[in-house]
Amino acid sequence: MRIDIITVLPELLESPLNHSILKRAQDKNLAEIVVHNLRDYTLDKHRRVDDYPFGGEAGMVMQIEPIDRAISYLKSQRNYDEVIFTTPDGEKFDQRMANNLSMSGNLIFLCGHYKGIDYRIREHLITREVTIGDYVLTGGELAAAIMCDAIVRLIPGAIGDEQSALSDSFQDNLLAPPVYTRPAEYKGWKVPDILLSGHQRKIDEWKHDQALERTRRLRPDLLDE
Ligand code: ADE
Protein backbone atom coordinates (compact mmCIF):
# COMPACT_ATOMS: atom_id res chain seq x y z
CA MET A 1 0.00 0.00 0.00
CA ARG A 2 1.17 3.51 -0.76
CA ILE A 3 -0.07 6.60 1.07
CA ASP A 4 0.68 10.10 -0.23
CA ILE A 5 0.04 12.99 2.15
CA ILE A 6 -0.23 16.53 0.80
CA THR A 7 0.40 19.21 3.43
CA VAL A 8 1.75 22.70 4.08
CA LEU A 9 3.46 21.39 7.24
CA PRO A 10 5.50 18.29 6.28
CA GLU A 11 7.64 18.64 9.45
CA LEU A 12 4.59 17.98 11.60
CA LEU A 13 4.25 14.51 10.09
CA GLU A 14 7.89 13.45 10.25
CA SER A 15 7.99 11.99 13.73
CA PRO A 16 4.63 10.19 13.90
CA LEU A 17 5.19 8.51 10.52
CA ASN A 18 8.74 7.38 11.29
CA HIS A 19 8.44 5.52 14.56
CA SER A 20 7.01 2.31 15.93
CA ILE A 21 4.62 0.30 13.75
CA LEU A 22 4.50 2.86 10.94
CA LYS A 23 8.27 2.75 10.65
CA ARG A 24 8.37 -1.04 10.84
CA ALA A 25 5.69 -1.43 8.16
CA GLN A 26 7.68 0.86 5.85
CA ASP A 27 10.96 -0.92 6.61
CA LYS A 28 9.27 -4.21 5.68
CA ASN A 29 7.92 -2.68 2.44
CA LEU A 30 4.35 -3.31 3.56
CA ALA A 31 3.56 0.38 3.27
CA GLU A 32 5.17 3.35 1.62
CA ILE A 33 4.21 6.74 3.05
CA VAL A 34 5.31 9.81 1.11
CA VAL A 35 4.79 13.35 2.38
CA HIS A 36 4.52 16.18 -0.15
CA ASN A 37 4.98 19.85 0.61
CA LEU A 38 2.09 21.61 -1.12
CA ARG A 39 4.35 24.63 -1.69
CA ASP A 40 6.43 22.50 -4.09
CA TYR A 41 3.41 22.56 -6.40
CA THR A 42 3.13 26.36 -6.55
CA LEU A 43 4.45 28.33 -9.52
CA ASP A 44 4.90 31.80 -8.00
CA LYS A 45 8.08 32.88 -6.25
CA HIS A 46 6.31 33.37 -2.89
CA ARG A 47 5.12 29.73 -2.99
CA ARG A 48 1.69 30.93 -2.03
CA VAL A 49 -1.01 28.34 -1.25
CA ASP A 50 -3.82 30.51 0.17
CA ASP A 51 -5.74 33.69 -0.63
CA TYR A 52 -8.56 35.87 0.69
CA PRO A 53 -12.07 34.44 0.37
CA PHE A 54 -14.56 35.83 -2.14
CA GLY A 55 -17.48 37.44 -0.36
CA GLY A 56 -15.32 39.07 2.30
CA GLU A 57 -15.13 36.78 5.30
CA ALA A 58 -12.27 36.61 7.80
CA GLY A 59 -9.48 34.05 7.33
CA MET A 60 -7.59 32.64 4.37
CA VAL A 61 -8.68 29.90 2.00
CA MET A 62 -6.46 27.27 0.39
CA GLN A 63 -6.29 27.77 -3.37
CA ILE A 64 -7.28 25.19 -5.93
CA GLU A 65 -4.30 25.44 -8.32
CA PRO A 66 -1.45 23.95 -6.23
CA ILE A 67 -3.73 21.24 -4.85
CA ASP A 68 -4.99 20.30 -8.31
CA ARG A 69 -1.40 20.23 -9.56
CA ALA A 70 -0.28 17.97 -6.70
CA ILE A 71 -3.19 15.55 -7.02
CA SER A 72 -2.96 15.45 -10.84
CA TYR A 73 0.76 14.72 -10.66
CA LEU A 74 0.23 11.84 -8.22
CA LYS A 75 -2.65 10.44 -10.27
CA SER A 76 -0.46 10.49 -13.38
CA GLN A 77 1.95 8.14 -11.58
CA ARG A 78 -0.51 5.50 -10.30
CA ASN A 79 -4.17 4.81 -9.55
CA TYR A 80 -5.63 5.80 -6.20
CA ASP A 81 -8.54 4.19 -4.36
CA GLU A 82 -9.46 7.37 -2.49
CA VAL A 83 -8.45 11.03 -2.28
CA ILE A 84 -9.25 11.83 1.34
CA PHE A 85 -9.64 15.36 2.72
CA THR A 86 -9.17 15.70 6.49
CA THR A 87 -11.79 18.10 7.81
CA PRO A 88 -13.92 18.47 10.95
CA ASP A 89 -17.12 18.37 8.84
CA GLY A 90 -16.39 15.01 7.19
CA GLU A 91 -17.74 11.52 7.95
CA LYS A 92 -16.47 10.09 11.22
CA PHE A 93 -13.37 7.88 11.09
CA ASP A 94 -13.78 4.62 13.03
CA GLN A 95 -12.40 1.09 13.15
CA ARG A 96 -14.67 -0.06 10.34
CA MET A 97 -13.35 2.67 8.03
CA ALA A 98 -9.77 1.81 9.08
CA ASN A 99 -10.41 -1.84 8.19
CA ASN A 100 -11.81 -0.92 4.77
CA LEU A 101 -9.06 1.56 3.96
CA SER A 102 -6.36 -0.92 5.03
CA MET A 103 -7.41 -3.06 2.06
CA SER A 104 -6.73 -0.22 -0.39
CA GLY A 105 -3.87 -0.14 -2.85
CA ASN A 106 -3.07 3.57 -2.79
CA LEU A 107 -4.47 6.53 -0.89
CA ILE A 108 -3.99 10.29 -0.99
CA PHE A 109 -4.58 12.39 2.13
CA LEU A 110 -5.01 16.12 1.65
CA CYS A 111 -4.56 17.97 4.95
CA GLY A 112 -6.89 20.93 5.40
CA HIS A 113 -5.69 24.24 6.84
CA TYR A 114 -6.62 27.88 7.32
CA LYS A 115 -10.29 28.72 7.21
CA GLY A 116 -10.99 26.08 4.63
CA ILE A 117 -10.22 25.13 1.09
CA ASP A 118 -11.76 26.36 -2.12
CA TYR A 119 -14.96 24.34 -2.25
CA ARG A 120 -14.33 23.29 -5.87
CA ILE A 121 -11.55 21.06 -4.54
CA ARG A 122 -14.09 19.22 -2.42
CA GLU A 123 -16.55 19.06 -5.31
CA HIS A 124 -14.17 17.87 -8.02
CA LEU A 125 -10.91 16.45 -6.65
CA ILE A 126 -11.77 14.75 -3.35
CA THR A 127 -13.51 11.37 -3.10
CA ARG A 128 -13.96 11.27 0.67
CA GLU A 129 -14.07 13.80 3.52
CA VAL A 130 -13.16 12.43 6.92
CA THR A 131 -12.99 13.72 10.51
CA ILE A 132 -11.33 11.97 13.45
CA GLY A 133 -13.83 13.44 15.92
CA ASP A 134 -16.08 16.32 16.87
CA TYR A 135 -13.40 18.83 17.76
CA VAL A 136 -11.40 21.28 15.69
CA LEU A 137 -7.65 20.84 15.18
CA THR A 138 -5.36 23.54 13.84
CA GLY A 139 -4.83 21.52 10.70
CA GLY A 140 -5.48 18.10 9.23
CA GLU A 141 -1.91 16.76 9.65
CA LEU A 142 -2.39 15.12 13.04
CA ALA A 143 -5.70 13.68 11.85
CA ALA A 144 -3.95 12.20 8.78
CA ALA A 145 -1.19 10.75 10.99
CA ILE A 146 -3.76 9.14 13.27
CA MET A 147 -5.65 7.62 10.36
CA CYS A 148 -2.41 6.33 8.76
CA ASP A 149 -1.47 4.69 12.05
CA ALA A 150 -4.86 3.01 12.44
CA ILE A 151 -4.87 1.85 8.79
CA VAL A 152 -1.27 0.67 8.39
CA ARG A 153 -1.18 -1.39 11.60
CA LEU A 154 -3.98 -3.51 10.09
CA ILE A 155 -1.94 -4.56 7.05
CA PRO A 156 -1.06 -8.24 7.59
CA GLY A 157 2.50 -8.48 8.91
CA ALA A 158 2.64 -4.89 10.21
CA ILE A 159 2.34 -5.95 13.82
CA GLY A 160 4.22 -8.99 15.00
CA ASP A 161 1.26 -10.96 16.24
CA GLU A 162 -1.60 -10.63 13.75
CA GLN A 163 -3.95 -11.95 16.36
CA SER A 164 -3.41 -8.83 18.42
CA ALA A 165 -4.89 -6.54 15.73
CA LEU A 166 -7.92 -8.80 15.52
CA SER A 167 -8.40 -8.65 19.29
CA ASP A 168 -8.15 -4.83 19.47
CA SER A 169 -10.90 -2.88 21.09
CA PHE A 170 -13.67 -2.06 18.54
CA GLN A 171 -12.84 -4.92 16.14
CA ASP A 172 -16.07 -6.64 17.18
CA ASN A 173 -17.73 -3.53 18.63
CA LEU A 174 -16.47 -4.57 22.08
CA LEU A 175 -13.83 -2.90 24.20
CA ALA A 176 -10.84 -5.16 24.87
CA PRO A 177 -10.73 -7.05 28.20
CA PRO A 178 -8.09 -6.09 30.80
CA VAL A 179 -4.59 -7.58 30.43
CA TYR A 180 -1.95 -8.20 33.12
CA THR A 181 1.65 -9.32 33.33
CA ARG A 182 4.14 -10.32 36.04
CA PRO A 183 4.32 -9.97 38.98
CA ALA A 184 1.07 -11.76 39.82
CA GLU A 185 0.84 -9.69 42.99
CA TYR A 186 2.15 -6.15 43.52
CA LYS A 187 1.61 -4.13 46.72
CA GLY A 188 -1.20 -6.58 47.50
CA TRP A 189 -2.92 -5.85 44.13
CA LYS A 190 -3.62 -9.22 42.58
CA VAL A 191 -4.08 -10.42 39.02
CA PRO A 192 -7.49 -12.19 38.72
CA ASP A 193 -7.06 -15.86 39.79
CA ILE A 194 -8.72 -17.15 36.64
CA LEU A 195 -5.85 -15.90 34.45
CA LEU A 196 -3.39 -18.01 36.44
CA SER A 197 -5.59 -21.11 36.41
CA GLY A 198 -4.36 -22.55 33.09
CA HIS A 199 -7.98 -23.36 32.17
CA GLN A 200 -8.11 -21.87 28.66
CA ARG A 201 -11.86 -22.24 28.00
CA LYS A 202 -12.72 -20.56 31.29
CA ILE A 203 -10.14 -17.84 30.63
CA ASP A 204 -11.69 -17.13 27.21
CA GLU A 205 -15.15 -16.96 28.79
CA TRP A 206 -13.84 -14.57 31.45
CA LYS A 207 -12.27 -12.33 28.80
CA HIS A 208 -15.50 -12.21 26.83
CA ASP A 209 -17.53 -11.39 29.98
CA GLN A 210 -15.07 -8.64 30.88
CA ALA A 211 -15.22 -7.20 27.37
CA LEU A 212 -19.03 -7.13 27.53
CA GLU A 213 -19.07 -5.61 31.02
CA ARG A 214 -16.58 -2.86 30.14
CA THR A 215 -18.45 -2.04 26.91
CA ARG A 216 -21.81 -1.89 28.72
CA ARG A 217 -20.34 0.39 31.38
CA LEU A 218 -18.08 2.65 29.29
CA ARG A 219 -19.44 2.58 25.73
CA PRO A 220 -23.05 1.28 25.71
CA ASP A 221 -23.50 2.99 22.30
CA LEU A 222 -21.27 0.30 20.73
CA LEU A 223 -23.70 -2.42 21.78
CA ASP A 224 -26.59 -0.61 20.04
CA GLU A 225 -24.81 -0.72 16.67
N1 ADE B 1 -8.93 19.28 10.71
C2 ADE B 1 -9.28 20.05 11.76
N3 ADE B 1 -9.99 19.35 12.66
C4 ADE B 1 -10.08 18.08 12.19
C5 ADE B 1 -10.69 16.90 12.66
N6 ADE B 1 -11.35 16.86 13.81
N7 ADE B 1 -10.59 15.79 11.90
C8 ADE B 1 -9.93 15.82 10.72
N9 ADE B 1 -9.34 16.92 10.22
C10 ADE B 1 -9.41 18.04 10.94
Question: Quick one: pLDDT band at residue 164, thresholds 50, 70, 90?
Answer: confident
Residue 168 has pLDDT above 90, yes or no: no
3-class secondary-structure state, position 108: strand
Instruction: Summarize pLDDT for 95-106 with one digit per residue, the tens.
Output: 999 999 999 999
Instruction: Report helix, strand or coil for 124.
Output: helix
- Determine the distance separating the centroid of ligand 1 and the alpha carbon of 149, expressed in angstroms: 16
Domains identified in the chain and CATH numbers: 2-152 (3.40.1280.10), 167-224 (1.10.1270.20)
Averaged confidence pLDDT in the chain? 95
Q: Which ligand 1 atom is at minimum distance from the Cα of 134? A: 6
Q: Ligand 1: distance of its center to the CA of 109 in Å?
A: 12
Look at residue 163 in the predicted model and tell me its pLDDT. Answer: 63
pLDDT for 124: 98
Of the residues 87, 126, 128, 146, which should be mutated to test ligand 1's pocket, given the most ligand atoms within 8 Å of the CB? Answer: 87
Contact predicate 90/116, CB 8 Å: no
How far apart are alpha carbons 43 and 71 in whole angstroms? 15
How far the first Cα of the chain sits from its last, in Å, is: 30
Residue 113 has pLDDT above 90, yes or no: no
* Ligand 1 pocket residue status of 43, Cβ below 6 Å: no
Rounded distance between C-alpha atoms, residue 107 and residue 32, angstroms? 10
Does the CB atom of residue 10 touch ligand 1 within 6 A?
Answer: no
Distance, CA of 44 to CA of 38 (rounded, Å): 13
Q: How confident is the model at residue 162 (pLDDT cuts 50, 70, 90)?
A: low
Residue pair 94/170 in contact by the 8 Å Cβ criterion: yes
CB 57 within 8 A of CB 113: no
CB of 116 shorter than 6 A to ligand 1:
no
Nearest-atom index, ligand 1, CA of 112: 1
| Beta strands across the sheet bearing 116-117 | 50-51, 61-62, 116-117
Q: What is the C-alpha separation between 55 and 174, in angstroms, rounded? A: 48
Amino acid at residue number 162: E
111 CA → ligand 1 middle, Å: 9
